[in-house]
């Protein structure tokens, strides 16, 4: 993967996570945050396995999925 595409994945992740903090509906917050965290996991993988980025965001993905399933 080219460094430019990897950077765009990181920017997209940041945009999704920051936008999730601007919302009031908890379901929308969790969905946007889940997307952002998933992009951060991809970003960490494509940048040479940046474990300090991959691990917490991977955990957050599972937490968001858990709460989304639990609420429905």
Q: Considering the chain, what is the average pLDDT of its residues?
A: 96
Containing structural domain, residue 53: 3-71
Amino acid 20: pLDDT: 96
Tokens of 28: 């929308």
Classify 22 as helix, strand or coil: coil
Amino acid 27: pLDDT: 95
Amino acid 1: pLDDT: 83
> Can you tell me the distance from the alpha carbon of 21 to that of 28, in angstroms, rounded to the nearest whole number?
10
The pLDDT of residue 38 is above 60: yes
Length of the chain: 72
| pLDDT bucket at 72, cuts 50 / 70 / 90 | low
> Can you tell me the distance from the alpha carbon of 6 to that of 43, in angstroms, rounded to the nearest whole number?
6
Tokens of 39: 């992009």
Domain total of the chain: 1
Provide Rg for the chain, Cα atoms: 12
Give the residue-averaged pLDDT of 29-51.
97
């Amino acid at each position: 993967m080219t460094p430019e595409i990897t950077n765009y994945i990181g920017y997209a992740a940041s945009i999704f996570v920051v936008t999730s903090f601007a919302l009031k509906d908890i379901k929308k917050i969790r969905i946007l945050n889940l997307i952002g965290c998933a992009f951060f996991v991809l970003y960490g993988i494509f940048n040479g396995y940046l474990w300090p980025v991959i691990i917490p965001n991977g955990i957050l993905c599972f937490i968001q999925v858990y709460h989304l399933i639990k609420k429905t």
